[in-house]
Structure formats: structure tokens, C-alpha cells
Amino acid sequence: MKEEGGLKGSSQFSRRGFLKIFSVSLASISGLLLGIPALDAIISPALKSRLTSFSKAGKIGNIPEGSPVRLTVASSAKDAYLNDTEMHNVWAIKKSNSDIEVFSPICPHLGCSYNWDPQKSQFECPCHGSVFAENGKVISGPAPRSLDTLPTKIEGDELYVEWEKFQLGINKKVKI
Amino acid sequence: MSKKVWYWINERIPLSSILRMGMDEEIPGGSRFSYALGSATLLVFLIQLITGVLELFYYAPTVDHAYDSINFLRVEVPFGWLIHGLHYWGATAMIVIVSLHMLRVFIWGAYKNPRQLTWILGVILFLLALGMSFTGAALPWDQRGYWAAQVGTNIGGTFPFIGNFIKQVIRGGSSMGQLTLSRFFILHVAVIPGIIVMFIILHLVAFRKHGSVGPWEEEKRNVTGQFWPDQIFKDVLVAIIILLALVALSTFSPPPFSGPADPMDSSYVPKPEWNFLFLYQALKFFPGVLEVIGTVGIPTVLVLLLLLLPFIDKNKIRNPFKRLIVVPTGLLIVMAVIILTIAGYLSGESTAVKQKSNSKEVLHKENFSSNDIRLGKQLFTSIGCIGCHSIMGTGGTVGPDLSNEVQKGRTKEWLIAQIQNSKSHNPTSIMPPFSFLKVAQLNQLVAFLLTPSNMGSGSAPQIASTQPSNSNANTVAIPDTASQSKVDSVNLQSAGLAASILGSAEHGKVLFDKNCIACHGKNGIGKIANPGSATGVVPALNPISQRLYNKDPEIFSKNIDIIIQHGAVPKGANPALKMEAFGDQQALSQQQISDIEAYILSMNGIERGMIKDPGMEPVSFFTLIAVVFAGIGLIFLVVWNVKKKK
């Protein structure tokens, strides 16, 4: 592009050359100063993980002791500017009023919903036949790890559960 | 290597000759800063294009989400404040710079033969820019944009014969709604920008064909300068100044949060965008039947004058001091527009309201005798209306404020029906039926309610004296409202929709003064007695209880939202005042509650629209770019001087 300017004598050339460098560098720097924020605005929100929080799962007194029960949790996830309330079924096993274990309803193998078989006292996944014990341990089938437990919190008479999701098909429990 | 690539490209696409066409030009009279206005307009257009596309990454063009999505961008997306701020202020800069550009072309006489078409294309571009300003303002679907669009489309509706047709087509229906927003959206992001790009290309090609017009004095035309780099250098300097100014405005004067659009809220007084203010102000000179002169006549004449200018002023003289009719006339019109814009800006919100209510007052005054009004005023106090309803700032707040019944469009018949059996209008109303009133008394009461102008004087009823002594008070109703910071007595329900809406503190104050002030006091300072409650007073909101306060505006809003939505009963044996469930009873809309919450937060030093993730603090960002530009300027100044000496 430098060839385009007028080459009229040496003093003219240095003045023109100077103006060219000055204009181009100022323009590129302002492009950079505004380009970085623009990229940041598009990229960094995409890399943030969604915030979750504890939500009410029910009164502890209403949960029967012993065998697993299905509880419905309304997790209020904030999806950008949408305040979504998602309903999830979780499995809860109450051993005592202060000891309640909650399993994610998603089979860690490939993500199917498993069921509790009260006769055999075990969890069974209908998709690929994984079987889990009451404590979540794998008894048989292709499941690579135990059922995923969810964080819980007891406040007064109320059980709170935090809804989380984990990667499927791997040995370790890794939060998504 | 780079030369080889350059040749390779040019063998296939003639980039070099395209560049030469855009860059190589002799400017008669040399480069000037005043010629930079055209490229400054192009720069602002590019800023609008880029920031506009960035906004589209987050904006949702639906009436339920538009406002929240824009606020999400502004508050939670890194540099969202900058993107929105630049787009908002860029729109203003666009109109200002285009106007200056046109003014310069006008004074230089640059629209004359052979540049008529360049001028006409420019006028069309200017009108398209106004179209962008009008459609863009509505997109956040906030109070400001909603009402500006409402008024703007109504103005279109005054067009003779086809007005209503035009209005309905623009709105996508007879009333404002989702289809209106969709139409404004698609016009703003696709249709108008597409046309603008085409016209910019034509405008630039026409400009290049005949080049810069240069100075009007022959002797000054002998000197010439090159467009590249002489003029571009000046263009870049002007561009940097504009850029800095836009970032400064975005930093220090961010666009206001005017609250979500609320079609039901009659307390909001709409005003158009500043660039249409002159028209808004001019309309006031044309009442009634003449209105169409202001709404259609003036704009049409102005546009025609602009378009036809090259054909009205045809002679070859370009020196403005020798064009004794055209230049002074043009400048006079410009002055008139500027003066009307300033007058429109300064005209208080009250002017519009006053004009409206005055005309209606006259109408009603004819129907009611002053004696009826006086007796009605006495009745208002004696039968206990004042226990629940306030009027001109005095009275209870259980029921709605009755100061503006005329503005609400209430008729005599409606009010009588309401007084005798309120359930006929609203089945869930808690207002007791006043069926014992005689027809004469009803008429007196209605006369009083529909005559607000007779209110303010002397014998204004005093709530304090009527309330405790009035034995009817218990049956009629206790003036209650008030708040409560004792969370245990509050309904343990969740926060409502309002808590997640970013309200307008400014409008919240208006609503607070209407609905909350009776119990919480001016500016929420409290100290209003609440006999029978444990503390004896209504809790102050300023400062608010530490249990409700939170530095995070969203949590703070949620905390107070539960109380405003569902009400609260203060601790104590028999509190006279309790907090009404404004949300559950639908005494206030969710939008209004969000505004009041923003106001309560602001009283406690928390900004509802606080930026959560700025990317970089606005002030630091502004300082950074100011320092960078100043530094580069300094370096080049030094280099320049050193070279010059050599």
C-alpha cells in the first residue's frame, strides 16, 4: 500500500511516510483496544459453568426410613437471563433423620433412568442391565462406577439437595 | 514474500486498483479537519454495526425477555457495559455527526451540480439513520422505548386517510405487542441496515466520481493535498476523539435503566428520543384538528426541502456569504430545530400531564357544583374512605390512591358502581360495599373524586385525627401498609418475578411516593407510629434491617421481594398497621414492584444495575485507552519534531 502515496521530493516523502505510519498504527491500536473486549464478551461467558444451588426436596419426617424413595427436586437453575426451574426425580435413602443419602437418577453408564426393585432390593437400569446395591455399589452390568451421590443439606425439618450432573461412562465421578 | 502474495492476489482480484480508487485523490485546497465528518459518519456506522452484532449475541426479541436479555448483557457479560454503551451513545453520535456533515455540505454549497445525487443519497441515508434510531429505541422493551414507540406509531396514525392503516402495519396489529417488537427488530437489524449499506456504497461511489469540492475561493484551490495519507491522517485523529468520547460517555454516563415496559402503568410520562424532540415540541403548537400539520405537514415539508435543495438552489455560486437567501433560510431552520429540541428536552414531564388533565377538568367542572364537591370532601372523611384511600398525599394506602381518578378515565357511573359494590368491577376486591349511601351523597362523593383541582386547599382532611377517634375505623378498614423486618412473621414464600427484573430506581421513587410513603415515610426513613406492634413504629427502609440488606443486588431484591409480594404482619399484640401483599393482591404489577425494589436498594446505597462482571472496570478501561492514545500521540509528536529539525 505504501506504493500508492505521492513521491514528491524527500521532505514530502518523509512527511507522507510519517502520516501513513501514524494513521495505520493508531487505527490498528484502536482496533485492538476494542477488539479484545469484543472477543472477551463472546468467549468468556461461554466458558463459565452454570451456577447451581440447593433446593428443597421435602420434609424429612415425610420420607420413610429404610428403602429408597423417589423425591422431586425443583432446581432453580439460572440460564443466562432465564430463571428456569427444572424438576428432577432423585432417589433418597433415609437411614436416620440426620443421615440421608441422595442418588442422582441418571445411570452412570449411559444416562438412562434406573428403577428400584423392592423384591430384590436393588436398583436396576432397564437399558443395559446394570444393577446397583442399595448403597449404590455396582453389583453387575456395564456401569463403570457406583451411583452418583448428590450433595445434601439438612436445615430444620427440611432436606435440601443440590442438583448436579456428571460425566457418563467413566470410572471417576466428574462434575459437568 | 508479502509482495509476491500481494501480486498473486491482484492477479485474481484487483484489490490494488480498488484501493487506489478509494485512496488516490487530489483534494483541491488540501486536506481539512472539516472534511473528516463524512468518514466520521462511516466510522460511527461501523461502530454501530459491530456493537449491534455483538448485542445480537445476547439479545432476545421477545416481549418477555428483551429487557432481561439486554440487562444480562450489560451486567453479567464482560464488557457488555461497553458494547451497549457504545451502541447507545453511537446512535446519538450518528445523528449529531450526520447533521454536522450535512450542515458543512450545505454551507460549502457542495450539493450543487454535478453532486446533486450525492446529496440526495445522503439525505436518504439521514432518513434511514432516523429510522434506525426510532426502531432501535424500542428494542429493549423498557418503559422509555415502549412509550416512545407507542407515541411514534400514534403519530404515524395521524396521517390523513391512511394513518390508521400505516399505524397498524407498523405495529403488526391494532395495539402494541410481540408483533410490534418483532417488526421493529427485523427492521432494525436486517431491513434498514441492508438498505443503508447499499446507499453508503452509492454515496461513496458518487463522491469519488467528482471528488471533494474544496474551498469556494479560487485562490485557495491552487494548493492540493492527497486523500491518502493527508486527509486520512486527519480522519483518524477525529475518529480517535470520537471513540474516546463514546467510551467516556459509556463509562461516566451509562444508559439509564428505565424499568421494564408496563403498558398498565399510567404514571410514566413518555417522551420521544432526543432527535425527535423538536417534532414533539412543535406538535404542542398544533392542538386538535391542526395536529396533522405538526405530525405530517412539518416533517414532509422538511424532507422535501432537503431532497429538493440542489434543484432549488441551482446557480453556481458556492460562497455562503453570497447566497443571501438560501444560507440564512437554512440556518434559520436549523436554529428552529435546535431551539425546539432544547425546549422539548426542558419541558417538564408535568407539562404533558397538566395539559391532559386540565382539558378534562374543565369538562367535569361543568357538571358538578362547588357545594357538591365540598360536601363530597366531608363525606370522604366522615364515612371512612380516607382510612384506606389517600387523595393528594393524605390518607391510607390499603386501597388505591384516588388523586387521579380523572386521568384514570373513571366516569361518574363507574365510581358509583364501585362505591356501592366494588366486587362488580373486581371480584377479589376487599373494599366493603357502601350501599347505605343515598343518591345525593353518592353524587357529592363522585363530584369530589372527579375534581382534583379543588383538593389542595385549606381544610384537607387529616388522617391522624380521623383514624383513632373514628369508631367506624375497625369496620371500614384500618389504614394498613407498613413493613416488617421480622422475617418469622412473614409468609415463608419465595420471591416473585419482580426480584429478577432490573427495575428503575427513578420511577420506583414515583411509585414509592404514591404507595409506600404513608407508612414508611419520606425517603423510607420510617418513624411512623404503629400502635400495637412490638416496636411501636413502622420499620424504616432507609437504612433497612441488616437481615434484609445484602451487597448483592439480586439477593437484596429477593429478600425484600418476599415481603412486598406476600405482605407481613408485625410482631405485637394487635398491630394497627400491617404490610399489604402488594404482589399477591395485584395492587402493584411485577414491573412496578421491581422499580420500587430498585429504589429501596438505591436508598441503601446499592445500585440495582450494578455491573457484576465488567471484564475491566469502566473507569480503568477508559483510563487505559486514554493513556495509550496520549502515549502514542506523544511519541509521534517527539519523532515528528526530531525529524523536522534534521
Task: Tell me the DSSP string of B236-260.
Answer: HHHHHHHHHHHHHHHHHSPPP---B
What is the model's pTM? 0.73
Using alpha carbons, list the distances in angstroms from residue B216 to A149, B220, B311, B316, B322.
83, 8, 19, 10, 11
Cβ contact A41–B239 (<8 Å): no
- Same domain assignment for residues B34 and B168: yes
- Same domain assignment for residues B119 and B210: yes
Q: How confident is the model at residue B9 (pLDDT cuts 50, 70, 90)?
A: very high
Distance CA B417, CA B414 (A): 5
Cβ contact A4–B19 (<8 Å): yes
Any idea what the CATH number is for the domain that residue B45 is in?
1.20.810.10
Q: How confident is the model at residue A12 (pLDDT cuts 50, 70, 90)?
A: low
What beta strand segments (E) does B373-519 contain?
390-391, 394-395
Written as nine digits, the cell of B494 is 419465595
pLDDT at residue B493 tops 80: no
Could you give the percent of chain B with pLDDT greater than 70? 88
Q: How confident is the model at residue B247 (pLDDT cuts 50, 70, 90)?
A: very high
In this prediction, residues B619-646 reach a mean pLDDT of: 89
Model confidence pLDDT, tens digit, residues A143-170 = 999 999 999 988 888 888 888 889 898 9
Reference B513, options B534, B476, B474, B541; nearest CA is B541
- What pLDDT, on the 0 to 100 scale, is given for residue B454? 43
Distance CA B592, CA B595 (A): 5
CA dihedral B264, B265, B268, B272 (to 10 degrees): -20
Chain A residue numbers touching B80 (CB-CB < 8 A): 41
Residue B263 domain-assigned? no
Using alpha carbons, list the distances in angstroms from residue B601 to A144, B253, B499.
51, 20, 12
- Same domain assignment for residues B524 and B640: no
Instruction: For residue B629, give the chain A residue with the closest CA.
Output: A26
Highest mean pLDDT among B282-286, B356-360, B490-494: B282-286
In this prediction, residues B195-205 reach a mean pLDDT of: 96
- Same domain assignment for residues B125 and B217: yes
- The ipTM (two decimal places) reads 0.71
* A25-34, B303-312, B427-436: range with lowest mean pLDDT: B427-436
Using CB atoms, which residue from B78, B232, B639 is nearest to A44? Answer: B78
The conformation of residue B321, written as its DSSP 8-state character, comes to: G
The residue range of the domain holding B375 is: 355-476
Cβ contact A81–B82 (<8 Å): no
In this prediction, residues A56-71 reach a mean pLDDT of: 85
Tell me the residue length of chain B: 646
CA dihedral B512, B515, B520, B525 (to 10 degrees): 20
Q: Taking CA B201 as the corner, what is the angle to CA B195 and CA B205, rounded to the nearest 5 degrees?
A: 145
- Same domain assignment for residues B237 and B369: no
Q: How confident is the model at residue A67 (pLDDT cuts 50, 70, 90)?
A: confident
pLDDT at residue B409 tops 90: no
Cβ contact A26–B629 (<8 Å): yes
Reference B54, options A41, A25, A137, A73; nearest CA is A41
> From the candidates B236, B251, B634, which should be mutated to test the interface with A, based on the most A CB atoms within 10 A?
B236
Model confidence pLDDT, tens digit, residues A105-158 = 999 998 888 999 989 999 999 888 899 999 999 999 999 999 999 999 888 888
**Burial grade of B632 (CB within 10 A; 0-12, 13-18, 19 or more):** middle
Cβ contact A80–B69 (<8 Å): yes
Q: Which of A47, A67, A83 is the last residue before a domain boundary?
A: A47
- What pLDDT, on the 0 to 100 scale, is given for residue B149? 92
Q: In Å, how far is A133's CA from the nearest CA of chain B?
A: 37
- Same domain assignment for residues A41 and A62: no
Q: In Å, how far is B489's CA from the nearest CA of chain A?
A: 17
More confident of the two residues B129 and B273: B129
Any idea what the CATH number is for the domain that residue A123 is in?
2.102.10.10
What residues contact residue B3 under an 8 Å CB cut-off, 6+ apart?
Answer: none
The A-side interface with B (CB below 8 A) comprises 1, 4-6, 14, 16, 18-20, 22-23, 25-27, 29-30, 33-34, 37-38, 40-42, 44-45, 80-83
Could you give the percent of chain B with pLDDT greater than 90? 44
- What pLDDT, on the 0 to 100 scale, is given for residue B52? 97
Q: In Å, how far is A41's CA from the nearest CA of chain B?
A: 5
- Same domain assignment for residues B458 and B574: no
- What pLDDT, on the 0 to 100 scale, is given for residue B190? 97
- What pLDDT, on the 0 to 100 scale, is given for residue B303? 96
The residue range of the domain holding A117 is: 54-162
